């Protein structure tokens, strides 16, 4: 059977289900111009219109280009090749089906409402509207557990989410009930051999992360890994010989750079140009899949147990730095899971504690929550209030329109707030496309809890800047920390106190900001030590915990005394 494998966020050959059970495979990647053109964000501009941005920013696009080059090289080494096209996949894939006499098209589903609609449109064209009916096969390789292995019955979701609460009233969930829930997956879509990721499929899924993880662990385990594809099934025999060229970053970013309308209504062209310039200057590699696997094994074996993930500066192996490879799909979460399990088995056999690296699996489960929750919410993921919470918020939320606080948003996005953690984080983000989770949370807290601006502005700005952008993880985390997720707690970070705990000696701040004073406290409160420090956009006193305020008031310093 001849098959087209349409690559999306699965830019690897190992552990790729799409390369199995077919005799002749053509590999395809499509650069969709709509990913790089201005589109509506759904956020009001305050004048009856909507703010504009692009889906794929410079840093992500740069990494994507490298990953596509890497995939092409790996296919060529096995005797195949990668067809590159530029356009709408809904138009391009059917043309290739006809040109290459294809019997089946296969792809992996990805989060995002536009991506979901695009996938459905392609299914319709290939099966209903196309002159030659084509078989379909889809899977979901971005998640740790397969969607078909999770419950589809609302009752089972609810009972497994809170087993202790339900046990007395309802008893235990029987194996037959759980099996019946899973068996319904195969008939939940109009197409055979197509995974169902519709919002209706995940009705009943817990909105609390901990409840979801409990259900996932109870019902299933990650599937086994798929081996590298057989080289005999790969082909590079094309009727017209036109494989297509991979575009450059400059070509992809042209609509963004040429836009006459400000991004998000106020981002300057100078800042956008700096973002593109930074991305273009980043080092590139054409062996992404191999390097991703090597990095994973090295981190799990040598660094994971001692990583201090709470720091602002997570260089020197304090972070797994797997978010980029997972976002691009050059590495699968199942590979992470099985790598950790293998190392834990080795440690236990040698009499060592294996629990110190289990956090990597926990992070894959958290990531799964955001991915599946995004599937469940569908288009509502992009609403100001995307989900009905399980309880009332700790405090009522008031959102200020961008039109009423545009100046402060510009300062926040450009790293000119006067708050060292926010400004250092923004400079790192624009320069590299990355910053630690600790810093991301604090930047989000200032935008939503101190400036009270629409959290989606921050999500869209991150989307434009991040190298590891995943719409489900990005929007999900922003909703969570902004207090509009399923568990709407008031997560308000005090950025100065956070620096005191997670960058006390100013290593991170001094790396990204110019601090002249050598005083130990200068990086924590630079406005008190630097003559030319930018004006603060909020009262710095609000960025201290009550305990740190008391220390500052009584001693004139927030640094603990030696006796403390």
Q: Which residues are annotated as a binding site for FAD?
A: 319-323
Distance from C-alpha of 404 to C-alpha of 46, rounded to nearest angstrom: 9
What is the torsion angle, in degrees rounded to the nearest 10, for the CA atoms of residue 550, residue 551, residue 556 and residue 559? -150
Judged by DSSP in three states, 90 sits in helix
Looking at residue 405, the DSSP 8-state letter turns out to be S
540 Cβ contact partners less than 8 Å away, ≥ 6 residues apart: 418, 419, 496, 525, 527
Distance from C-alpha of 215 to C-alpha of 217, rounded to nearest angstrom: 5
Instruction: List, as residue ranges, the binding site.
Output: 319-323
C-alpha gyration radius of the chain: 25
CB contact burial 357-394 (16+ within 10 A = b; e otherwise): beebbebbbbbbbbbbbbbbbbeebbeeebbebeeeee
φ, ψ for residue 443, nearest 5 deg = -65, -40
Q: Is 25 within 8 Å of 47 (Cβ atoms)? A: no
Nearest Cα to 286, choosing from 27, 77, 74, 66?
Answer: 66
Distance from C-alpha of 281 to C-alpha of 277, rounded to nearest angstrom: 6
Judged by DSSP in three states, 226 sits in coil
Spell out the SS3 assignment of 175-235.
Answer: HHHHHHHHHHHHHCCCCCCCCCCCHHHHCCCCCCHHHHHHHHHHHCCCCCCCCCCCHHHEC
| Token couple for 383 | 């609403």
Q: Write down the residue that tokens 């130990």 correspond to.
A: 520
Q: For residue 446, what are the CA distances in angstroms to 436, 439, 540, 544?
A: 16, 11, 11, 13
Judged by DSSP in three states, 369 sits in helix
Q: Is 314 within 8 Å of 436 (Cβ atoms)? A: yes
What is the torsion angle, in degrees rounded to the nearest 10, for the CA atoms of residue 545, residue 409, residue 467 and residue 120? 110
Q: Is 11 within 8 Å of 67 (Cβ atoms)? A: yes
Residue 550: which H helix or E strand, with range? helix 546-555
Distance from C-alpha of 237 to C-alpha of 239, rounded to nearest angstrom: 7
Judged by DSSP in three states, 75 sits in helix
Distance from C-alpha of 296 to C-alpha of 339, rounded to nearest angstrom: 8
Distance from C-alpha of 149 to C-alpha of 142, rounded to nearest angstrom: 14
| Token couple for 223 | 């599937």
CB contact burial 119-140 (16+ within 10 A = b; e otherwise): beebbebbbeeeeeebbbbbbb
């Amino acid at each position: 059977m001849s098959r087209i494998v349409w690559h999306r966020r699965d830019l690897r050959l190992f552990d790729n289900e799409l390369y199995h059970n077919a005799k002749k495979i053509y590999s395809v990647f499509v650069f969709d111009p709509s990913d790089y053109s201005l589109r509506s964000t759904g956020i009001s501009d305050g004048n009856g219109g909507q703010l504009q941005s692009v889906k794929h920013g410079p840093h992500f696009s740069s990494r994507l280009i490298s990953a596509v080059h890497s995939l092409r090289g790996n296919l060529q080494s096995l005797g195949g090749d990668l067809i590159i096209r530029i356009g709408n996949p809904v138009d391009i894939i059917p043309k290739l089906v006809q040109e290459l006499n294809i019997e089946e098209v296969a792809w992996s589903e990805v989060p995002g409402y536009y991506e979901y609609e695009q996938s459905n449109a392609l299914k319709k064209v290939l099966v209903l509207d196309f002159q030659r009916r084509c078989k379909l096969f889809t899977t979901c390789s971005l998640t740790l557990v397969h969607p078909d292995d999770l419950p589809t019955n609302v009752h089972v979701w609810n009972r497994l989410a809170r087993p202790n609460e339900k046990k007395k009233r309802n008893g235990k969930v029987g194996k037959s009930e759980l099996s019946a829930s899973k068996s319904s997956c195969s008939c939940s879509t109009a197409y055979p051999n197509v995974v169902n990721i519709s919002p209706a499929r995940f009705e009943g899924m817990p909105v609390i992360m901990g409840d979801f993880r409990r259900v996932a662990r109870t019902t299933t385990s990650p599937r086994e890994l798929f081996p590298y594809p057989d080289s005999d099934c790969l082909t590079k025999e094309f009727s017209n010989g036109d494989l297509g060229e991979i575009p450059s970053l400059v070509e992809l970013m042209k609509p963004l750079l040429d836009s006459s309308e400000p991004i998000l209504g106020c981002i300057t062209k100078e800042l956008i140009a700096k973002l593109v310039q930074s991305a273009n200057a980043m080092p590139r590699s054409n062996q992404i899949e191999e390097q991703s696997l090597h990095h994973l094994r090295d981190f799990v074996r040598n660094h994971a147990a001692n990583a201090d993930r709470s720091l602002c500066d997570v260089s020197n192996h304090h972070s797994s730095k797997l978010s980029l490879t997972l976002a691009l799909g050059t590495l699968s979460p199942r590979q992470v899971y099985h790598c950790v399990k293998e190392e834990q088995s080795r440690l236990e056999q040698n009499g060592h504690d294996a629990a110190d690296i289990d956090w990597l699996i926990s992070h894959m489960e958290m990531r799964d929550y955001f991915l599946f929750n995004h599937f469940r919410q569908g288009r509502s993921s992009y609403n100001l209030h995307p989900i009905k919470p399980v309880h009332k918020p700790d405090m009522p939320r008031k959102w200020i329109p961008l039109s009423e606080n545009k100046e402060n948003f510009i300062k926040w996005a450009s790293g000119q707030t006067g708050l060292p953690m926010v400004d250092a984080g923004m400079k790192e983000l624009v320069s590299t496309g990355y910053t630690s989770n600790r810093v991301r949370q604090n930047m989000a807290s200032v935008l939503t809890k101190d400036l009270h601006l629409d959290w989606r502005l921050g999500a869209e700005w991150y989307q434009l800047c991040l190298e590891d952008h995943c719409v489900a993880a990005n929007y999900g985390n922003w909703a969570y920390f902004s207090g509009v997720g399923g568990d709407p707690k008031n997560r308000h970070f005090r950025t100065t106190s956070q620096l005191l705990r997670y960058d006390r000696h100013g290593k991170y701040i001094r790396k990204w900001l110019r601090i002249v004073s050598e005083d130990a406290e200068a990086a924590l409160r630079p406005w008190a030590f630097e003559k030319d420090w930018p004006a603060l956009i909020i009262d710095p006193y609000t960025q201290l915990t009550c305990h740190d305020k008391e220390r500052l008031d009584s001693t004139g310093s927030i640094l603990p005394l030696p006796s403390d």
